[in-house]
Structure 1
Amino acid sequence: MRVNSGFALASLLFLLLSSIETKKPGKGRGLRGARHKLTRDRIRGAGRHSRSGPTRLVSPACSESTESRDVFVDCQERHLNSIPPSQTWSKEPKHLLLARNRIKVLQDGAFFGYERLISLDLQQNQISLVEEGAFHGLKELTTLLLQHNHLGTLSEEALIPLPNLRYLRLYDNPWNCLCPLDSLIRTLQVPSNRNFGNHARCSVPIRLKGMKLKQVDPELLCKESDPTGHPEGDLRDMTEPLRPSPFRSKPDATTSCHTYLFPKIRMDCSKRGLTEVPAGIPEDVVHVDLSHNSIHHLKARDFQSTRSLRTLNLSNNNMERIDTASLSGLLHLRELDLSENSLHFVQYGVLEDLYFLSKLRLGGNPWVCDYSIHYMVYWLRLHPGVKHSGLLCRSPPEYTGETVEEYVHSYNRECPKDRQNSRTHQDQTDPELWNTPMEVQGELEEELEPSHLRLPQKYQIIRLS
C-alpha cells in the first residue's frame, strides 16, 4: 500500500509541474491558444513585410513582369477559382490580370493586401455575385473590368471603396433591370461617371431587354417591378408590342471583341463570327486580332480610326478582296498577317500607307502569277526592310510552286520589244480585237503600273476605220 501511495503522490506532483509549465509566458494555452496563434500568424503573413521572407508563397502558374516601373501580375487563363493571396508575389502588383478564369464569386475582402492596385481585369470569368466588401481597400484602383461575366445585379455599395475609379466595363452580363439594380443604374448615370458601364444592357424584363443601363429610367424600376419577383418581370410585358431593334450596319467592336488594356491596349476579335470589320475600334488600340472570322471583303475606311495600330491579324478569313483605301492611315503598322485567305493578288495602292511595316505574312493564299501580281513585287522591292513570307504562285500550272519574285524575274527577262511588236501586229490585223475587253485590260494594266517603273511609250498606234 505504501508503494502505491508513493506512486500516486509522484504522479500528482508530475501533473502539477506540467500544469505550471504550460502557464509560463511564451507558451501555448491549450487549443484556444493554438488557434489564436495560427490566426495571428495568418494576419502577419498577409502583411507586406513578409514578401521577402521565407513564408512567401510561390505560384508558378502566373507570371510577374515590370513595365514602365509598374509591376504586372499575369494570371490569365490559369483555371483559377479564387483570387491568389497577395503575399504570393515578390513585389506589390499595380496591375492584376485575371481574365479567362473560373472565378464565380468575389467575397468580402477578396483583394486584401492589394491596396496599390491601379487596374484589375476580371473579364471572361463566371462571376455571378460580388459581395459589398469585395473591393475593400482598393483606394488607388482606376480601372475595373467585369465584362463578359454572369452578373445580374451589382450594388452601389460594392463600388464605394473605389474613390479613384475612372473606367468600369460591365457589358455582356445578363443584367436584371428590376428594383435591386436601382442604385447601380443611378451611379452609372451620374455625369462624372461617363466611362462607367457605357455598353451594358438589360436582359430582363422583356420591356427593357436590349436597353442600355444608362438610358433606363430608375424611377420606374421599383414601381413597375413584378411583385412576385419573377425574373421575367411583369406579365404585362407580354401584351406590349416589342419594339424593333435599331438597324446597325456594322457590329460594335467594344461589345463584339475582348479588350485588354494592359500592358498594351489590344482587341481580340478572333472567332467571333464577324463578316466585316467591326465599327468603333478605339483610336489608342495597338493590337487587333480579327483572325478566324468570315471577312471576305476588306472595305475602304475600315480602319480609319485606328491610328495607333501596330499589329493587325486578318488571317483565316477566306478573304477574296482588299479595296485600295482599306489600310489607309495605318502609318505606324509594323506587322500585317494576311495568311490563309483566298487572295489572288493585291490591288495597286493597297500598301502605300504602310511606311513602317516590317513583317508581312502572305502564305496560304492562291496567288495567281500574271500581270496583276506585279504590284506586290514592285512594292516589296522598294521596301527591302519588310520581311515577307508565303508569296508563292498557285496558278497558272506552269508557275505553280515558284516564288512570285522568280515569276516576275522570268517575265522581265523576255524581250519587251518583241512582245509588244507581236501584240501590236495582232491588234492591227485583227479588227475583231479592236476595243474588246482584252484591249481595254491592256490599257488599264499600263495605267496601273507604278509611275516610277513605267517605261516611256515608244509606239503610237493609229487606227483607220
Structure 2
Amino acid sequence: MRVTSSLLIGPLLLLLLASVEMRPGKDKGATDKLTRNRMRGARRHSRSGPSRPVAPDCSELTESGDVFIDCQDRRLTTTPTSQTWSQKPKHLLLARNKIKVLREDAFSGFESLTSLDLQQNQISLVVEGAFEGLTRLKTLLLQHNRLGTLSEEALIPMPNLRYLRLYDNPWSCVCAMDSLIRTLQVPSNRNLGNHARCAGPAWVKGMKLKQIDPRLLCMETLPGDNQTDPTNPVDPIPIRTKPDATTTCHTYLFPQIRMDCSNRGLTEVPAGIPEDVVHMDLSHNSIRHLKAKNFQGARSLRTLDISHNNLEHIDKASLFGLLHLLELDLSNNSLRFVHYGVLEDLYFLSKLKLGDNPWVCDYSIHYMAYWLQLHSKVRHSGLWCQSPPEHTGESVAEYVYSYNKECPKDRQHSRSDEDQTDPELWNTAMEVQGELEELEPSHLRGPQKYQIIRLS
C-alpha cells in the first residue's frame, strides 16, 4: 500500500513542477509581445515625412525650417504634454479646442517656443505660473476666449513677448486689472493688447484697455453705485457701424498670416485689414458691393475669396492696392459684368474663379474677355453666358469672337452711302482713317499735307 501511494505522489509532483515552469514562460512571452508592440508604436512615431503624429492628438510639421506642433481642432480640454520631438518646436498651435484653464507649468517642455496660439478656446482662468519657462516666446494669441481678468504676473515669465492679442474676451475692468492695464499702456508695448475692450462695469463698457485711466479702477465707490465713478463718469464709446477686420475675423499667424472672415454676416468689407495678411476669406457673407479702396491697406494679399456673397457691383478702384494678388475667387455671386478698369491693378494674378454668376453676354462683358485675352497666363474658369437666351450656355470667349466676326457685316448693311464707296476699300486703312475723322473733333485732328481749294 505504501509503495502504491509513493508511486502516485511522484507523478503528481512532476506535474506540479512542470506547471510552475510553464507559467514564467507564458509571462515572458506576454512581456515580449508587449515590448514588441511598444517598439512598433515608437517606430510609428518616428519621422517619416513632412508631417507625422507625435501624440494622440497632435502632429509635427516643418515649414521654412521651423518646427510646428499642430494641435488645432482636436477637442483638447488640457494642454498637451511635451514629447521627444525630432527638433525643438518653435510654434505650438492650440486654436479651436475646449481648454478652460491654463494651470501652473502648463507648457513645461516647450521652452523653445517663440509663438503660442490659444485663440478660440474657452479659457476663463490663467494661473500666474502658466507660462513659466517660456522665456523665448514672442507671440501669444489669447483672443476669442472667456477671460474676465488677467494679472501682470502671468506675463512676467515672458520677457521677450512682443505681440499679444486679447480682444473678444469679456474683460471686467475692475481693480484686479490695474497692473495688466498699466503694462499694456507702456509705450514700448505698442503691440500688446490692441483692440481689447472692457465688457464691464457699465461706466467703462466699450472702452479700450489701452485708453482707460487705470487710476479710476481702484477708486472707492459709494454704496449702491455698482462700480460707477461718481466724480468723473465716462460715457461708453459708441460701437462703430462699420465692422473692424481685426476684431470681427479670426486671424491665424502660422505658417502664413491668414484672416478668416467667412460666415460672419458681413454686409461690407471690414475696415482695418492688417497690411501683413497673406490670405483672406470673405466667403459666405452678404456683401453686395465692393467699394473703392476696400483693400487699400492689404498690400500683402496673395489669395482673396469673396465667393457666395450675392455680389452685384465692383467699383473701379475696389481692388486698388492688390498688386501681389495671385488668386481671386468671385464665384457664386450675382455678377452680370465687370466694369472697365476693375482688374487693372492685378498685375500678378494667376488664378481667377468666375463660375455660378449670371453673366450677360452683351457689349458690357467685352472688357472681361479682352482683359483675359491680354493676360493669357491667368487661369480662369466659369465665364459662361447666362443671358440673353440666344447665347445661354455659350462661353464668353466664343460670344465675343462671333460678335467681332459679324460686326463688319452688320456695318455694311447699316451704311447709308454704300453706293458712293467702293466695297473693296471697307475695313482698309483708308476706311478706318475716314471713320476716325468722323468721330474725332476737328480741333484735335492732325494737320493735312495737302489742301485743295476749288476756284469758281
Pick the aligned partner of 2:134 from 135, 138, 151. 138
Structure 2: how far apart are the matches of 1:57 and 1:138?
24
> What code does the residue aligned with 1:190 have?
V
Give the corresponding residue for 1:152. Answer: 148
Give the corresponding residue for 2:262. Answer: 270
Pick the aligned partner of 1:351 from 326, 343, 346. 343
**Deviations for 1:193-248, whole angstroms, at most 9, x for unmatched residues?**
111101110001000000011111111111146879xxx943778xx998464474
- Give aligned pairs, total: 377
**Deviations for 1:124-154, whole angstroms, at most 9, x for unmatched residues?**
1100000000000000000000000000000
Matched, 1:417 2:395: no
Matched, 1:181 2:174: no
- RMSD between superposed Cα atoms in Å: 2.7
> What code does the residue aligned with 1:76 have?
Q
Using a 3 Å threshold, how does the CA distance of structure 1 residues 457 and 203 change in structure 2: closer, same or farther?
Answer: farther
Give the corresponding residue for 2:390. Answer: 398
1:178–1:225 Cα contact (<8 Å) kept: no
Range moving further from structure 2, 182-191 or 243-252: 243-252
Residue 368 of structure 1: SS of its match in structure 2? coil
Residue 366 of structure 2: SS of its match in structure 1? helix
1:57–1:88 Cα contact (<8 Å) kept: no
**Deviations for 1:417-440, whole angstroms, at most 9, x for unmatched residues?**
3323445659xxxxxxxxxxxxxx
Deviation, 1:59, is 2.4
2:267–2:287 Cα contact (<8 Å) kept: yes
TM-score, structure 2 as length reference: 0.77
Structure 1: how far apart are the matches of 2:72 and 2:223?
41
1:57–1:87 Cα contact (<8 Å) kept: no
Give the corresponding residue for 1:19. Answer: none
Using a 3 Å threshold, how does the CA distance of structure 1 residues 348 and 106 change in structure 2: closer, same or farther?
Answer: same
Q: Percent identity?
A: 70
1:204–1:233 Cα contact (<8 Å) kept: no
Deviation, 1:367, is 0.4
Residue 375 of structure 1: SS of its match in structure 2? helix
Give the corresponding residue for 1:102. Answer: 98
Using a 3 Å threshold, how does the CA distance of structure 1 residues 241 and 392 change in structure 2: closer, same or farther?
Answer: farther
Structure 1: how far apart are the matches of 2:433 and 2:79?
71
Give the corresponding residue for 1:367. Answer: 359
2:100–2:125 Cα contact (<8 Å) kept: yes
Using a 3 Å threshold, how does the CA distance of structure 1 residues 97 and 222 change in structure 2: closer, same or farther?
Answer: same
Using a 3 Å threshold, how does the CA distance of structure 1 residues 456 and 267 change in structure 2: closer, same or farther?
Answer: farther
Give the corresponding residue for 1:193. Answer: 189
Residue 213 of structure 1: SS of its match in structure 2? coil
1:275–1:295 Cα contact (<8 Å) kept: yes
Residue 86 of structure 1: SS of its match in structure 2? coil
Give the corresponding residue for 2:219. Answer: 223
Give the corresponding residue for 1:33. Answer: none
Give the corresponding residue for 2:163. Answer: 167
TM-score, structure 1 as length reference: 0.76
> What code does the residue aligned with 2:109 have?
G
Structure 1 residue ranges without an equivalent (≥5): 1-50, 427-454
Give the corresponding residue for 1:234. Answer: 227
Pick the aligned partner of 1:458 from 426, 435, 442. 435
Deviation, 1:411, is 1.3
Structure 2: how far apart are the matches of 1:65 and 1:295?
36
Matched, 1:254 2:246: yes
1:59–1:88 Cα contact (<8 Å) kept: no
1:393–1:401 Cα contact (<8 Å) kept: yes
Range moving further from structure 2, 168-177 or 345-354: 345-354
> What code does the residue aligned with 1:305 have?
G
Structure 1: how far apart are the matches of 2:105 and 2:297?
41
Paired residues for 1:281-430 under 5 Å: 281-414=273-406, 416-423=407-414, 425=416
1:323–1:347 Cα contact (<8 Å) kept: yes
1:311–1:336 Cα contact (<8 Å) kept: yes
Paired residues for 1:18-37 under 5 Å: none
Structure 2: how far apart are the matches of 1:224 and 1:365?
62
1:201–1:213 Cα contact (<8 Å) kept: yes
> What code does the residue aligned with 1:193 have?
N
Residue 176 of structure 2: SS of its match in structure 1? helix
Using a 3 Å threshold, how does the CA distance of structure 1 residues 61 and 374 change in structure 2: closer, same or farther?
Answer: farther
1:367–1:395 Cα contact (<8 Å) kept: yes
Matched, 1:114 2:107: no
**Deviations for 1:152-176, whole angstroms, at most 9, x for unmatched residues?**
0001111010010001100000000
Structure 2: how far apart are the matches of 1:394 and 1:329?
31
Matched, 1:81 2:72: no
Using a 3 Å threshold, how does the CA distance of structure 1 residues 170 and 65 change in structure 2: closer, same or farther?
Answer: same
- Of the two, which has the highest radius of gyration? 2
Give the corresponding residue for 2:27. Answer: none
Using a 3 Å threshold, how does the CA distance of structure 1 residues 419 and 95 change in structure 2: closer, same or farther?
Answer: same
Structure 2: how far apart are the matches of 1:281 and 1:126?
26
Structure 2 residue ranges without an equivalent (≥5): 1-44, 418-431, 441-456
